[in-house]
Amino acid sequence: GQNIDQPTEMTATEGAIVQINCTYQTSGFNGLFWYQQHAGEAPTFLSYNVLDGLEEKGRFSSFLSRSKGYSYLLLKELQMKDSASYLCARRDRGSTLGRLYFGRGTQLTVWP
């Protein structure tokens, strides 16, 4: 299967921490990516995980468990500008140039 599941919407307040979960199914996993997409704009790369564990990049961290087919994106010290759609995307082995399979995205709204 090629399903990627993530919640449709989430809300949080400024300064808080939010965790966006993503589950996937694949027979040949080769990387899990997170992108941010503001309305009407292009996806912007945030992070990727190939091996299990946590990758930290400033206010953003991403975690992967390959055995569970599970990843999450953690956003700390939320700011209003973090209101956007967060896209989980999977890459499979056998795709030479790294075709990405995207989930539907999680629309995050940050309130003051």
Q: Is 19 helix (H, G, I), strand (E, B) or coil?
A: strand
Distances (CA, A) of 62 to 18, 49, 96: 12, 7, 24
Specify whether the CB–CB gap between 72 and 58 falls below 8 A: no
Beta strands in the chain (DSSP E): 4-5, 9-13, 18-24, 29-37, 44-49, 53-57, 60-65, 70-75, 84-92, 100-102, 106-111
Binding status of residue 31 toward another protein by CB under 8 A? yes
CB of 19 to another protein, least distance (A): 21
Cβ proximity to another protein, 28 vs 98, nearer residue: 98
- Residue selected from 1, 8, 27, 42 as contacting another protein according to rule CB under 8 A: 42
CB of 55 to another protein, least distance (A): 12
CB of 75 to another protein, least distance (A): 19
Cβ proximity to another protein, 40 vs 112, nearer residue: 40
Cβ proximity to another protein, 12 vs 100, nearer residue: 100
Stretch of 7-15, 19-27, 42-50, 76-84 lying at the interface with another protein (CB under 8 A): 42-50
